[in-house]
Structure 1
């Protein structure tokens, strides 16, 4: 989620990461994107409830289409992942979901770049310089 927010800022949009001290309160008209593998964690469900109560749009990206978080979504992006016996040995915990989420968010940023007429060079000019 943090990498996605960074890329959105680099395309010229305003984006914040939930939980950071500089993140403002959500308002009607805002769009909040929550990435959650299982879609059941207390913190993500509570965040979703606040987002909906305040009238903002909620985009949920999850591997579980029937989760509490999925049901709260204004827009659901379901990333179904296999529950294979070998998965824990090859990709522990949420690695498959994290990889799929990164690929999805990269694709969204690429589409946004095309729509906004952005290039890698224009994104580079907005890249943070951390000293």
Structure 2
């Protein structure tokens, strides 16, 4: 886990004490400095190292579309098995939102909707895009 938050440190700073997190006081829960960037790749590497230490191989990882944690897990597991591949699966929520965006940007032919006017065709097109969205009933 990557964690920048330390409630004890925040409480001590609120009391006027000079506290350096992470690890600058007893019970510090932060393991990254507040200004350090979060890296999904590094998190994946750390997870992969933990799996490799326990001789666990991971076949599939579900992440959002821009996540690189699967790549980090695969890098770490290659120490256990050099030819091992980790498959990244798409998170259903992000996948559905991505499909909806693609559908709303799609170019439709003029003959696809049977409205009598261009305005009716536009209304029909918009209603078909809304119907394709899984969270809209």
| Alignment TM class, shorter chain as reference | under 0.3
Using the size of structure 2 for normalisation, the TM-score is: 0.25
Q: Which has the higher relative contact order, 1 or 2, with Cα contacts under 8 A spaced 6 or more apart? A: 1
Using the size of structure 1 for normalisation, the TM-score is: 0.26
